[in-house]
Structure 1
Amino acid sequence: MTRSPLIERIAAAVGPALEPLGVQLWGIEFASAGSRMVVRIYIDAEDGVSIGACAKVSRSLGAVFDAEDVLPGAYVLEVSSPGLERRFFSAAQMAAYAGQQVDVRLHEPQDGRRHLRGILSGVEGEDILIDEAGKVTRVAFDRLKGAHLVHEFPDTGIKAS
Protein backbone atom coordinates (compact mmCIF):
# COMPACT_ATOMS: atom_id res chain seq x y z
CA MET A 1 0.00 0.00 0.00
CA THR A 2 1.73 3.11 -1.20
CA ARG A 3 1.01 6.51 0.27
CA SER A 4 -0.25 9.32 -1.93
CA PRO A 5 1.34 12.79 -1.90
CA LEU A 6 -1.81 14.14 -0.21
CA ILE A 7 -1.53 11.58 2.59
CA GLU A 8 2.16 12.47 2.97
CA ARG A 9 1.26 16.18 3.22
CA ILE A 10 -1.46 15.50 5.80
CA ALA A 11 0.85 13.23 7.83
CA ALA A 12 3.52 15.95 7.87
CA ALA A 13 1.00 18.45 9.26
CA VAL A 14 -0.66 16.02 11.69
CA GLY A 15 2.43 14.47 13.32
CA PRO A 16 3.71 17.59 15.13
CA ALA A 17 0.17 18.55 16.19
CA LEU A 18 -0.45 15.16 17.85
CA GLU A 19 2.74 14.98 19.90
CA PRO A 20 1.68 17.48 22.62
CA LEU A 21 -1.69 15.70 22.90
CA GLY A 22 -0.02 12.42 23.92
CA VAL A 23 -1.15 10.37 20.91
CA GLN A 24 0.50 9.07 17.75
CA LEU A 25 -0.70 8.94 14.19
CA TRP A 26 -1.75 5.39 13.28
CA GLY A 27 -3.05 6.06 9.77
CA ILE A 28 -4.96 8.21 7.32
CA GLU A 29 -7.64 7.22 4.83
CA PHE A 30 -10.12 8.95 2.56
CA ALA A 31 -13.78 8.34 1.77
CA SER A 32 -16.54 10.46 0.29
CA ALA A 33 -19.77 11.85 1.70
CA GLY A 34 -21.68 13.37 -1.18
CA SER A 35 -19.59 16.19 -2.59
CA ARG A 36 -17.31 16.34 0.44
CA MET A 37 -14.16 14.38 1.06
CA VAL A 38 -14.02 12.49 4.37
CA VAL A 39 -10.57 12.42 5.96
CA ARG A 40 -10.21 9.72 8.61
CA ILE A 41 -7.34 10.12 11.02
CA TYR A 42 -6.60 7.11 13.22
CA ILE A 43 -4.71 7.81 16.44
CA ASP A 44 -3.23 5.47 19.02
CA ALA A 45 -1.75 5.79 22.51
CA GLU A 46 -0.05 3.41 24.91
CA ASP A 47 -2.99 3.49 27.33
CA GLY A 48 -5.67 3.48 24.63
CA VAL A 49 -7.71 6.22 23.01
CA SER A 50 -10.79 7.75 24.63
CA ILE A 51 -13.66 9.59 22.99
CA GLY A 52 -12.42 12.72 24.75
CA ALA A 53 -8.97 12.31 23.19
CA CYS A 54 -10.56 11.93 19.74
CA ALA A 55 -12.59 15.12 20.25
CA LYS A 56 -9.52 17.06 21.44
CA VAL A 57 -7.48 15.84 18.45
CA SER A 58 -10.32 16.70 16.06
CA ARG A 59 -10.47 20.29 17.31
CA SER A 60 -6.70 20.65 17.16
CA LEU A 61 -6.37 19.16 13.67
CA GLY A 62 -9.27 21.18 12.30
CA ALA A 63 -7.39 24.33 13.28
CA VAL A 64 -4.13 23.01 11.79
CA PHE A 65 -5.80 22.01 8.51
CA ASP A 66 -7.46 25.42 8.17
CA ALA A 67 -4.33 27.40 9.10
CA GLU A 68 -2.02 25.45 6.79
CA ASP A 69 -4.61 24.95 4.01
CA VAL A 70 -3.73 21.25 3.92
CA LEU A 71 -6.88 20.12 2.12
CA PRO A 72 -8.42 21.66 -0.97
CA GLY A 73 -12.17 22.26 -0.88
CA ALA A 74 -14.76 21.06 1.61
CA TYR A 75 -13.98 18.11 3.84
CA VAL A 76 -15.27 16.22 6.85
CA LEU A 77 -12.67 15.31 9.48
CA GLU A 78 -13.15 12.11 11.48
CA VAL A 79 -10.78 11.09 14.28
CA SER A 80 -10.87 7.57 15.67
CA SER A 81 -8.85 4.90 17.41
CA PRO A 82 -7.74 1.96 15.22
CA GLY A 83 -10.07 -0.31 17.22
CA LEU A 84 -9.87 -4.02 17.98
CA GLU A 85 -9.62 -5.02 14.33
CA ARG A 86 -7.15 -2.30 13.49
CA ARG A 87 -6.24 -1.68 9.89
CA PHE A 88 -2.52 -1.66 9.18
CA PHE A 89 -0.94 1.17 7.22
CA SER A 90 2.65 -0.15 7.22
CA ALA A 91 4.57 -3.40 7.60
CA ALA A 92 6.31 -1.92 10.66
CA GLN A 93 2.94 -1.58 12.43
CA MET A 94 2.25 -5.26 11.85
CA ALA A 95 5.46 -6.48 13.52
CA ALA A 96 4.05 -5.91 17.02
CA TYR A 97 1.13 -8.24 16.19
CA ALA A 98 3.15 -11.32 15.21
CA GLY A 99 1.38 -14.44 16.42
CA GLN A 100 -2.09 -12.95 15.95
CA GLN A 101 -4.64 -13.57 13.24
CA VAL A 102 -4.79 -11.13 10.32
CA ASP A 103 -6.92 -10.71 7.23
CA VAL A 104 -5.09 -9.58 4.10
CA ARG A 105 -6.46 -8.52 0.69
CA LEU A 106 -4.20 -8.12 -2.35
CA HIS A 107 -4.50 -5.79 -5.34
CA GLU A 108 -3.45 -8.58 -7.72
CA PRO A 109 -3.57 -12.34 -7.20
CA GLN A 110 -0.52 -14.08 -5.78
CA ASP A 111 -0.44 -17.83 -6.36
CA GLY A 112 -4.01 -17.46 -7.70
CA ARG A 113 -5.33 -15.81 -4.53
CA ARG A 114 -6.28 -12.27 -3.51
CA HIS A 115 -7.36 -13.05 0.06
CA LEU A 116 -5.27 -14.51 2.88
CA ARG A 117 -6.37 -15.11 6.45
CA GLY A 118 -4.06 -16.63 8.98
CA ILE A 119 -1.51 -16.05 11.68
CA LEU A 120 1.00 -13.26 11.13
CA SER A 121 4.16 -15.28 11.60
CA GLY A 122 6.51 -12.36 11.10
CA VAL A 123 7.60 -9.24 9.28
CA GLU A 124 10.88 -9.11 7.37
CA GLY A 125 11.59 -5.64 6.07
CA GLU A 126 8.58 -4.75 3.92
CA ASP A 127 7.43 -8.37 3.58
CA ILE A 128 4.82 -9.96 5.81
CA LEU A 129 4.57 -13.69 6.46
CA ILE A 130 1.12 -15.23 6.80
CA ASP A 131 0.74 -18.78 8.16
CA GLU A 132 -2.44 -20.48 6.97
CA ALA A 133 -2.60 -23.90 8.65
CA GLY A 134 1.15 -24.46 8.33
CA LYS A 135 1.59 -23.01 4.84
CA VAL A 136 3.50 -19.73 5.08
CA THR A 137 3.04 -17.14 2.34
CA ARG A 138 5.37 -14.15 1.94
CA VAL A 139 3.72 -10.98 0.63
CA ALA A 140 5.33 -7.61 -0.08
CA PHE A 141 3.41 -4.94 1.84
CA ASP A 142 3.08 -2.71 -1.23
CA ARG A 143 1.00 -5.46 -2.90
CA LEU A 144 -1.70 -5.15 -0.22
CA LYS A 145 -5.05 -3.57 -0.85
CA GLY A 146 -5.72 -3.79 2.87
CA ALA A 147 -4.77 -5.67 6.01
CA HIS A 148 -6.33 -5.75 9.44
CA LEU A 149 -6.14 -7.61 12.71
CA VAL A 150 -8.83 -10.22 13.38
CA HIS A 151 -9.93 -9.89 17.00
CA GLU A 152 -10.64 -13.18 18.69
CA PHE A 153 -12.90 -12.98 21.72
CA PRO A 154 -11.82 -15.22 24.59
CA ASP A 155 -13.89 -18.34 25.24
CA THR A 156 -15.82 -17.66 28.44
CA GLY A 157 -17.48 -21.07 28.47
CA ILE A 158 -20.91 -19.42 28.37
CA LYS A 159 -23.21 -20.92 25.75
CA ALA A 160 -25.68 -18.76 23.86
CA SER A 161 -29.29 -19.81 24.33
Structure 2
Amino acid sequence: MSAQRELFREAAIDAISDMAQYLPSDCELFVVACRPGSKVFDLVLPSPEANLNNALDALRRQGLSIDGDNAYKRDLCDSIFGALALGAQNNNPPPAGHWGQRFWDIGREERAMQEDLLESLTNLVGLAKLGAARLDKYHAALAHAEAVIAKATR
Protein backbone atom coordinates (compact mmCIF):
# COMPACT_ATOMS: atom_id res chain seq x y z
CA MET A 1 0.00 0.00 0.00
CA SER A 2 1.42 3.38 -0.96
CA ALA A 3 2.29 5.83 1.78
CA GLN A 4 -0.25 8.37 0.47
CA ARG A 5 -3.04 5.76 0.40
CA GLU A 6 -2.13 4.53 3.90
CA LEU A 7 -2.21 8.09 5.28
CA PHE A 8 -5.62 8.68 3.69
CA ARG A 9 -6.89 5.34 5.04
CA GLU A 10 -5.83 6.22 8.59
CA ALA A 11 -7.39 9.70 8.35
CA ALA A 12 -10.62 8.25 6.95
CA ILE A 13 -10.87 5.65 9.72
CA ASP A 14 -10.46 8.39 12.31
CA ALA A 15 -13.02 10.56 10.51
CA ILE A 16 -15.65 7.80 10.27
CA SER A 17 -16.25 7.76 14.00
CA ASP A 18 -16.34 11.58 14.12
CA MET A 19 -18.85 11.74 11.22
CA ALA A 20 -20.97 8.86 12.50
CA GLN A 21 -21.92 10.74 15.66
CA TYR A 22 -23.92 13.23 13.54
CA LEU A 23 -25.92 10.53 11.73
CA PRO A 24 -29.25 9.07 12.86
CA SER A 25 -28.72 5.70 14.53
CA ASP A 26 -30.21 3.73 11.62
CA CYS A 27 -27.85 5.21 8.99
CA GLU A 28 -24.79 3.53 7.55
CA LEU A 29 -21.60 5.35 6.61
CA PHE A 30 -19.06 4.59 3.88
CA VAL A 31 -15.93 6.38 2.80
CA VAL A 32 -14.98 5.60 -0.78
CA ALA A 33 -11.93 6.79 -2.66
CA CYS A 34 -11.05 5.72 -6.17
CA ARG A 35 -8.84 6.71 -9.05
CA PRO A 36 -10.80 6.18 -12.29
CA GLY A 37 -9.19 3.57 -14.52
CA SER A 38 -6.86 2.30 -11.81
CA LYS A 39 -7.45 0.15 -8.75
CA VAL A 40 -4.20 1.23 -7.09
CA PHE A 41 -5.86 3.84 -4.85
CA ASP A 42 -9.30 2.18 -4.48
CA LEU A 43 -10.44 2.27 -0.90
CA VAL A 44 -13.84 1.37 0.56
CA LEU A 45 -14.20 1.84 4.29
CA PRO A 46 -17.58 0.95 5.76
CA SER A 47 -18.56 1.71 9.31
CA PRO A 48 -18.88 -1.51 11.37
CA GLU A 49 -22.65 -1.85 10.90
CA ALA A 50 -22.62 -0.93 7.18
CA ASN A 51 -23.77 -3.22 4.39
CA LEU A 52 -22.36 -2.73 0.88
CA ASN A 53 -25.70 -3.67 -0.72
CA ASN A 54 -27.31 -0.70 1.04
CA ALA A 55 -24.58 1.57 -0.33
CA LEU A 56 -25.22 0.27 -3.84
CA ASP A 57 -28.95 0.92 -3.40
CA ALA A 58 -28.18 4.49 -2.29
CA LEU A 59 -25.97 5.03 -5.34
CA ARG A 60 -28.77 3.77 -7.58
CA ARG A 61 -31.19 6.23 -5.99
CA GLN A 62 -28.68 8.96 -6.82
CA GLY A 63 -28.55 8.00 -10.49
CA LEU A 64 -26.20 5.01 -10.80
CA SER A 65 -27.56 3.06 -13.73
CA ILE A 66 -27.11 -0.30 -15.41
CA ASP A 67 -26.71 1.66 -18.65
CA GLY A 68 -23.17 2.78 -17.83
CA ASP A 69 -20.12 0.68 -18.61
CA ASN A 70 -18.43 -0.91 -15.61
CA ALA A 71 -16.57 -4.09 -14.74
CA TYR A 72 -19.25 -5.33 -12.32
CA LYS A 73 -21.94 -5.19 -14.99
CA ARG A 74 -19.67 -6.85 -17.58
CA ASP A 75 -18.89 -9.68 -15.14
CA LEU A 76 -22.57 -10.10 -14.25
CA CYS A 77 -23.61 -10.23 -17.91
CA ASP A 78 -20.81 -12.70 -18.69
CA SER A 79 -22.10 -14.90 -15.86
CA ILE A 80 -25.64 -14.77 -17.24
CA PHE A 81 -24.46 -15.56 -20.79
CA GLY A 82 -22.41 -18.45 -19.43
CA ALA A 83 -25.37 -19.85 -17.48
CA LEU A 84 -27.55 -19.64 -20.61
CA ALA A 85 -24.90 -21.44 -22.70
CA LEU A 86 -24.24 -24.11 -20.08
CA GLY A 87 -27.97 -24.71 -19.71
CA ALA A 88 -28.29 -25.10 -23.49
CA GLN A 89 -25.49 -27.69 -23.31
CA ASN A 90 -27.12 -29.33 -20.26
CA ASN A 91 -23.72 -29.03 -18.60
CA ASN A 92 -22.43 -27.81 -15.22
CA PRO A 93 -25.69 -26.77 -13.49
CA PRO A 94 -25.35 -24.14 -10.75
CA PRO A 95 -25.46 -25.22 -7.10
CA ALA A 96 -28.90 -25.51 -5.47
CA GLY A 97 -30.41 -22.12 -4.72
CA HIS A 98 -27.91 -20.17 -6.87
CA TRP A 99 -29.27 -17.04 -8.60
CA GLY A 100 -27.93 -18.29 -11.96
CA GLN A 101 -30.25 -21.32 -11.91
CA ARG A 102 -33.07 -19.48 -13.65
CA PHE A 103 -30.76 -18.51 -16.54
CA TRP A 104 -29.42 -22.08 -16.77
CA ASP A 105 -33.04 -23.30 -16.91
CA ILE A 106 -33.86 -20.81 -19.69
CA GLY A 107 -30.89 -22.10 -21.72
CA ARG A 108 -32.03 -25.67 -21.15
CA GLU A 109 -35.63 -24.89 -22.17
CA GLU A 110 -34.52 -23.05 -25.32
CA ARG A 111 -32.32 -25.96 -26.37
CA ALA A 112 -35.15 -28.45 -25.72
CA MET A 113 -37.45 -26.35 -27.88
CA GLN A 114 -34.83 -26.26 -30.67
CA GLU A 115 -34.42 -30.02 -30.49
CA ASP A 116 -38.20 -30.52 -30.64
CA LEU A 117 -38.49 -28.19 -33.65
CA LEU A 118 -35.61 -29.94 -35.42
CA GLU A 119 -37.14 -33.36 -34.81
CA SER A 120 -40.51 -32.16 -36.07
CA LEU A 121 -39.04 -30.62 -39.21
CA THR A 122 -36.92 -33.70 -39.87
CA ASN A 123 -40.02 -35.87 -39.63
CA LEU A 124 -41.92 -33.57 -41.99
CA VAL A 125 -39.15 -33.68 -44.56
CA GLY A 126 -39.01 -37.47 -44.35
CA LEU A 127 -42.75 -37.80 -44.69
CA ALA A 128 -42.91 -35.35 -47.57
CA LYS A 129 -40.43 -37.58 -49.40
CA LEU A 130 -42.69 -40.59 -48.88
CA GLY A 131 -45.46 -38.84 -50.74
CA ALA A 132 -49.20 -39.13 -50.61
CA ALA A 133 -49.16 -42.89 -49.93
CA ARG A 134 -48.60 -42.17 -46.25
CA LEU A 135 -51.02 -39.29 -45.95
CA ASP A 136 -52.23 -40.25 -42.44
CA LYS A 137 -48.67 -40.07 -41.00
CA TYR A 138 -48.15 -36.79 -42.83
CA HIS A 139 -51.17 -35.26 -41.08
CA ALA A 140 -49.97 -36.49 -37.67
CA ALA A 141 -46.53 -34.96 -38.27
CA LEU A 142 -48.13 -31.69 -39.35
CA ALA A 143 -50.25 -31.62 -36.19
CA HIS A 144 -47.11 -32.19 -34.08
CA ALA A 145 -45.26 -29.43 -35.95
CA GLU A 146 -48.15 -27.03 -35.43
CA ALA A 147 -48.17 -27.81 -31.69
CA VAL A 148 -44.43 -27.20 -31.41
CA ILE A 149 -44.69 -23.94 -33.36
CA ALA A 150 -47.56 -22.79 -31.12
CA LYS A 151 -45.50 -23.56 -28.03
CA ALA A 152 -42.46 -21.71 -29.41
CA THR A 153 -44.45 -18.61 -30.27
CA ARG A 154 -46.45 -18.15 -27.07
Rg (Cα) greater in structure:
2
- Point out which structure has higher relative CO (alpha carbons under 8 A, 6+ apart): 1
Please identify which structure carries the higher helix content. Answer: 2
TM-score of the two chains, using structure 2 as the length reference: 0.22
What TM-score, normalized by structure 1, do the two folds share?
Answer: 0.22
More strand by share: 1
